């Protein structure tokens, strides 16, 4: 796509991005064990994709209870911080910009992943019936399992949790990240607090929408104090089709998703953060976000807006040209094409995505996808 609008620079906070193509957070389950530590192999994977205008790391659990899938990396121990330094150094050597995604899965976990085999924590003792956790059953092998009934967090514990987000943000800066993204999407902990389907608390964190947004507000404020608003983004996954209630693992469908998420965006606007990232439904034949919602996000939020969800370059460019988006994220295409921006801007064909190595493994399906070479 010569002269593609995605191939134009843009400012994000204090950063000048070379293009508007984003590597979004993509769970790949390659961390070293024991300890859930980022590795040299992970550094190579991110280095290969550093031509993205902007990159967000895979979800990194902020504390041991925040893990819902075996072999995902953390960002709460000294060894984990050291591991992530390899990644950020590799990205920066290529001129890239990378934020760390701060993640807590809440109830989408299992006793096998929890310290001492305890129950996962959540806003309320309501199980994630349609979601699955992933546990290790042997070296390099595991299985999907049903999450158990979680334990509802006590009110005082929530204050500690907010502090853990702030500490994870400090750790991310220490590890060399350029900023952080708060994961408030896909049916995980913050999303669980926002949703009336998973939050039936009767204290100041439950009941009204204002109360259900309280945890988001407190985490955003706490992390802002650590990194500054210009180095902070938040990810949401608003779903608008009630027929997709069973797809809980990618989010929770609210009775009035437009109102819920525009109010959530207002929380972000009040804090002046750099961007909001909207993860759309990404299965085949999924419904599009309503145009009225996109327009409301644009009129409500003065920062940058990122959209992700089975976008083609053409469709993403149209959204940017319409003024409804600033950057477009490409997940599956970026897995299979480490040089995705160059392929898009030059009209080169794309590698096909392989099922092998999507989740867990070693090099295969991870760092062995080729860059484009002109036919001889």
**pLDDT tens digits, residue range 315-368?**
999 999 999 999 999 999 999 999 999 999 999 999 999 999 999 999 999 999
User: What CA–CA distance (Å, rounded) separates 265 from 309?
Assistant: 19
Residue 374: predicted pLDDT: 78
User: What CA–CA distance (Å, rounded) separates 23 from 30?
Assistant: 17
Residue 241: predicted pLDDT: 60
Task: Please say whether the beta carbons of 355 and 336 come within 8 A.
Answer: no
Using the predicted structure, report yes or no on whether residue 284 has a pLDDT greater than 80: no
User: What CA–CA distance (Å, rounded) separates 13 from 231?
Assistant: 6
Task: Tell me which residue has tokens 């940017």.
Answer: 320
For residue 313, what are the contacts with CB-CB under 8 A and spacing of at least 6? 1, 4, 6, 328, 344
More confident residue, 52 or 2: 52
Residue 54: what are its φ and ψ, rounded to 5°? -150, 140
CATH fold group of domain 5-346: TIM Barrel (3.20.20)
Average pLDDT in the 14-38 region? 98
Average pLDDT in the 200-226 region? 98
Residue 219 banded pLDDT, cuts 50, 70, 90: very high
Average pLDDT in the 51-64 region? 98
Integer angstrom CA distances of residue 189 from 55, 127, 129, 195: 23, 12, 15, 10
pTM reported for the whole predicted model: 0.96
Using the predicted structure, report yes or no on whether residue 248 has a pLDDT greater than 50: no
Residue 304: predicted pLDDT: 98
User: What CA–CA distance (Å, rounded) separates 335 from 242?
Assistant: 30
Residue 245: predicted pLDDT: 41
Nearest alpha-carbon partner for 213 in 179, 167, 182, 245 = 182
Catalytic entry in 45, 69, 188, 366: 188
Residue 333: predicted pLDDT: 97
User: What CA–CA distance (Å, rounded) separates 19 from 107?
Assistant: 37
User: What CA–CA distance (Å, rounded) separates 52 from 96?
Assistant: 7
188 catalytic, yes or no?
Answer: yes
Angle subtended by helix axes 291-300 and 257-271, to nearest 10? 20
pLDDT in tens, 287-315: 789 999 999 999 999 999 999 999 999 99
Using the predicted structure, report yes or no on whether residue 256 has a pLDDT greater than 90: yes
Give the residue ranges of DSSP H helices in the chain. Answer: 40-48, 78-93, 155-174, 189-194, 209-212, 214-227, 257-271, 291-300, 313-321, 332-336, 340-346
For residue 107, what are the contacts with CB-CB under 8 A and spacing of at least 6? 120, 121, 122, 126, 127, 128, 131, 147, 150, 189, 192, 198
Nearest alpha-carbon partner for 371 in 42, 47, 30, 2 = 47
Domain residue ranges of the chain, discontinuous segments joined by +: 5-346
Average pLDDT in the 223-231 region? 98
DSSP label of 330: -
Using the predicted structure, report yes or no on whether residue 376 has a pLDDT greater than 90: no
Residue 240: predicted pLDDT: 74
SS3 148: coil
Residue 3: predicted pLDDT: 82
Host H or E run for residue 60: strand 54-61
Using the predicted structure, report yes or no on whether residue 244 has a pLDDT greater than 60: no
Residue 251: predicted pLDDT: 62
Angle subtended by helix axes 257-271 and 214-227, to nearest 10? 30
Residue 2: predicted pLDDT: 65
pLDDT in tens, 72-118: 999 999 999 999 999 999 999 999 999 999 999 999 999 999 999 99
Q: Is the backbone peptide bond immediately before 265 cis, with ω within 30 degrees of 0?
A: no
């Amino acid at each position: 796509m010569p002269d593609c609008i995605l191939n134009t620079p843009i400012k994000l906070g204090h950063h000048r991005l070379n293009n508007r193509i984003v590597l979004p957070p993509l769970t790949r389950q390659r961390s070293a064990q024991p300890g859930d530590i980022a590795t040299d192999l992970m550094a190579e994977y991110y280095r290969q994709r550093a031509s993205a205008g902007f990159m967000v790391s895979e979800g990194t659990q902020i504390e041991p209870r925040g893990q819902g899938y075996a072999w995902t990396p953390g960002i709460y121990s000294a060894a984990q911080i050291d591991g992530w330094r390899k990644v950020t150094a590799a990205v920066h050597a290529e001129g890239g910009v990378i934020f760390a995604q701060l993640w807590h899965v809440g109830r989408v976990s299992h006793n096998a992943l929890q310290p001492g085999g305890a129950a996962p924590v959540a806003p309320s003792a309501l199980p994630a019936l349609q979601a699955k956790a992933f546990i290790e059953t042997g070296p390099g092998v595991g299985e999907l399992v049903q999450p158990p009934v979680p334990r509802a967090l006590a009110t005082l514990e929530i204050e500690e949790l907010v502090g853990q987000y702030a500490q994870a943000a400090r750790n991310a800066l220490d590890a060399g990240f350029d900023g952080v993204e708060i994961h408030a999407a896909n049916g995980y902990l913050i999303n669980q607090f926002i949703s009336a389907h998973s939050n039936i608390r009767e204290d100041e964190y439950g009941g009204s929408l204002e109360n259900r947004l309280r945890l988001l507000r407190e985490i955003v404020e706490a992390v802002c104090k650590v990194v500054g608003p210009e180095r902070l983004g938040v990810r949401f996954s608003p779903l608008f089709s009630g027929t997709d209630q069973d797809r809980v693992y990618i989010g929770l469908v609210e009775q009035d998703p437009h109102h819920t998420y525009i109010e959530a965006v207002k929380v972000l606007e009040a804090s002046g953060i750099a961007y909001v990232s909207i993860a759309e439904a990404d299965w085949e034949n999924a419904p599009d976000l309503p145009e009225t919602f996109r327009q409301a996000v644009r009129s409500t939020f003065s920062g940058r807006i990122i959209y992700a969800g089975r976008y083609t370059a053409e469709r993403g460019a149209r959204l940017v040209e319409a003024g409804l988006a600033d950057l477009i994220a490409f997940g599956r295409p970026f897995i299979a094409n480490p040089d995705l921006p160059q392929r898009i801007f030059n009209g080169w064909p794309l590698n096909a995505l392989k099922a092998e190595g999507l989740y867990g493994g070693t090099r295969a399906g991870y760092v062995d996808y080729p860059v484009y070479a002109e036919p001889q």
